[in-house]
Chain A
Amino acid sequence: MLKQVQHDNIKSVKSAISAGHKKMTIQEALFQYTLRLGDTNLILSQRISEWTGHGPFLEEDLALTNIALDITGAAKSFLEYAAGIENKGRSADDLAYFRNDRQFYNAQITELPNGDYARTIVRQAMIDCFDFYFYTELAKSKDETLAGIAQKSIKEVTYHLRHTSSWVERFGDGTEESHNKAQTAVNELWQYTGELFEMNEVDEILIKEGIAIDLNGVKTKWGNHMAGLLEKSTLIKPENGYMQTGSRKAIHTEHLAFILAEMQALPRMYPDAKW
């Protein structure tokens, strides 16, 4: 019995390895790409939603909750599209609630704990800025659905970026304490920004098709914008040193599994639950 199991295991590992060498189809690449976008939005929205009811004051609580809601909406759009591309009977909810941490492709920066408000806002401004330039390019994609979601999201992200930038400025150019908190956040988060611009086989295949975006262009625009914002906020832009990596291979920090445990608890406990 045990021998048979071992034999089967070896067989499945062998077939997995040979499958790994097989070139990815456009459909598989598009699924991976859309899943990556869906996961990044989903985990970020889940993370910043933790502030709901705990914001520093009412208007800011509303603002961050609204931003989280827009991002949840983008996650829903991407994951519904991903589920359709995969076409294996999984819904957007199945993708969100019934995968484990090693099956998520969100950028690691989105799963990091919120920390203090300066850290939450600095991260949000970094991602809003990325999204602004990324969606501007994705809106020109040959894939009509991705282009449509991007056109929709860019309107919302423009508001987000304006809001979070104004706070980075106030924190940076505010009191000594707020300045130090914002600078610490910038310093600690910077190493997670490299991952946003990583490209792999998925990007390579889809860039050729005019579907995906060459992230090198976005990287330059993002870098210039962030440099300007940080300077205006009297904050120092860190050097591009060591960058964290892993999410394109579904490797994460220890924080993701805890988010999933909370986010997925109800549907996993009651798989038939409807809402």
Chain B
Amino acid sequence: MKTKEHILSLLSEIPDPEIPVISIIELGVIREIDIIDDKSIALKITPTYSGCPAMKQIEDDVKKKLSENGFTSITLNTIFSPPWTTDWITEEAKEKLRKYGIAPPEHSTEDKNWLTGKHSVVKCPRCKSENTKLISQFGSTACKALYQCQECLEPFDYFKCI
């Protein structure tokens, strides 16, 4: 019978459909893996954003990957609690985001400073300057906001902390 580690490494080969430099495991959306037998497996998956259109793609990719590896009964259950948080994105994955040109979430969601209007500094992923400006709270996908670097003038995406 396949081990949990084996399944994790299989699923690590699946890239996030919208940010292909990180895997769905690094994103933190797979919450539980229950290997029933050689042919049957049940997974618990949680959405990043309720309306994220990538979730359907992720589910299809997971089913495809597992069926290619001998599973004939694959159950995917969506769970909402605990809700997904950017705190689950690993440090390694954050570095990959930065290299890809997306500023990773800067602070833990435990930090409530932003609620009182204090923004933490978002560094430009290209030139590392801290002199950046929020252009729009909402960006090209549900998980991102739009910033611009005031030094190198590069517009860039920022992965919002939720």
The answer on a CB contact under 8 Å between B51 and A151 is no
A233 beta carbon closer than 8 Å to chain B: no
In this assembly, does A73 line the interface, its C-beta being within 8 Å of a C-beta of chain B?
yes
CB of A147 within 8 A of CB of B162, answer no
Contact A77/B50 with A59-B146, A62-B140, A63-B137 known, Cβ cut-off 8 Å: yes
Chain B proximity of A255: nearest CB distance (Å)? 23
Q: Are A148 and B81 in contact (CB under 8 A)?
A: yes
Given the interface contacts A70-B51, A152-B50, does A77 sit within 8 Å of B80 by beta carbon? Answer: yes
CB of B106, distance to nearest CB on chain A (Å): 16
Contact A156 B137, beta carbon cutoff 8 Å: no
A121 within 8 A of B: no
Please indicate which of the listed interface residues A63, A72, A152, A155 has the most CB atoms of chain B within 10 Å of its own CB.
A152
| Interface pair A149/B80, CB less than 8 Å apart | yes
B139 smallest CB distance to A (angstroms)? 7
How long is the Cα–Cα vector from A148 to B83 in the complex, in angstroms? 7
Question: With A and B bound together, what is the CA distance between A151 and B140 in angstroms?
Answer: 24
Residues of B within 8 A of A69 (CB): 49, 51-53, 142
For A158, what are the chain B residues with a Cβ–Cβ distance below 8 Å? 115
Q: Is the CB of B49 within 8 A of A70?
A: yes
Residues of A within 8 A of B51 (CB): 69-74, 76
Q: Which residues of A contact B98 (CB under 8 A)?
A: none
Which of A67, A72, A147, A152 is within 8 Å of B138, CB to CB? A67
User: B79 within 8 Å of A by Cβ?
Assistant: yes
Closest to A166 in B: B137
**A162→B136 CA distance, assembly (Å):** 12
Taking CB atoms, residues of chain A closer than 8 Å to B135 are 59
Within 8 A of B (CB), among A181-198: none
Please, how many angstroms separate the alpha-carbon atoms of A66 and B141 in the complex? 7
Residue from B53, B82, B137 within 8 A of A151 (CB atoms) = B82
Q: Which of A63, A70, A155 has the most CB of B within 10 A?
A: A155
A159 to B109, CA, bound (A): 13
Check A145 for interface membership: any CB of B closer than 8 A.
yes
CB distance from A87 to the nearest CB of B (A): 17
Contact of A73 among B47, B81, B138 (CB under 8 A): B47
Distance in angstroms between the alpha carbons of A73 and B51 in the assembled complex: 4
B50-A66 in contact (CB<8A): no
- From known contacts A149-B80, A155-B162, infer whether A73 and B139 are also in contact, taking CB-CB under 8 Å: no
Instruction: Confirm or deny: B123 has a beta carbon within 8 angstroms of a beta carbon on chain A.
Output: no
Give the Cβ gap from B99 to chain A, nearest Cβ, in Å. Answer: 25
Taking A59-B136, A72-B51, A152-B50 as contacts, is the C-beta distance between A66 and B82 under 8 angstroms? Answer: no
Q: Which residue of B lies closest to A41 (CB)?
A: B50
- 10 closest A-B pairs by beta carbon, nearest first, are A73-B50, A73-B51, A148-B80, A148-B81, A59-B136, A69-B51, A63-B138, A66-B138, A152-B83, A155-B162
Which residues of B approach A to under 8 Å, CB–CB?
Answer: 47, 49-53, 79-85, 115, 135-140, 142, 146, 160, 162
